[in-house]
Chains A and B, each alone.
Chain A
Amino acid sequence: DAKTTQPPSMDCAEGRAANLPCNHSTISGNEYVYWYRQIHSQGPQYIIHGLKNNETNEMASLIITEDRKSSTLILPHATLRDTAVYYCIVRVGGNYGGATNKLIFGTGTLLAVQP
Chain B
Amino acid sequence: EPEVTQTPSHQVTQMGQEVILRCVPISNHLYFYWYRQILGQKVEFLVSFYNNEISEKSEIFDDQFSVERPDGSNFTLKIRSTKLEDSAMYFCASSATSGTIYEQYFGPGTRLTVT
Contacts and interface: CB of A to CB of B under 8 A. Distances in A.
Contacts of A44: 43, 91, 93, 104, 106
Contacts of B45: 102-104
A90 B31 CA distance: 19
Contacts of B105: 46
A101 B31 contact: yes
Interface string B11-29: 0000000000000000000
Task: Label chain B's interface by main secondary structure.
Answer: strand
Interface in B41-83: 42-45, 48, 50, 55-56, 58
Contacts of B42: 105-107
Contacts of B33: 101-102
Nearest to A45: B106
A73 to B, nearest CB: 14
A100 B50 CA distance: 12
Interface stretch (A6-14, A16-24, A35-43, A64-72): A35-43
Interface string A86-115: 010000011100011111111100000000
Contacts of A94: 99-100, 102
A46 B103 contact: yes
A38 B104 CA distance: 13
B6 to A, nearest CB: 8
Nearest to B6: A43
7 contacts: A43-B108, A44-B104, A46-B103, A46-B105, A94-B99, A102-B58, A105-B43
Interface of B: 4, 31, 33, 35, 42-45, 48, 50, 55-56, 58, 89, 91, 93, 95, 99-100, 102-109
Given A46-B103, A94-B99, 20 more contacts: A38-B43, A42-B109, A43-B91, A43-B106, A43-B107, A43-B108, A43-B109, A44-B43, A46-B105, A93-B102, A95-B100, A99-B102, A101-B33, A101-B48, A101-B104, A102-B33, A102-B48, A102-B58, A103-B45, A107-B42
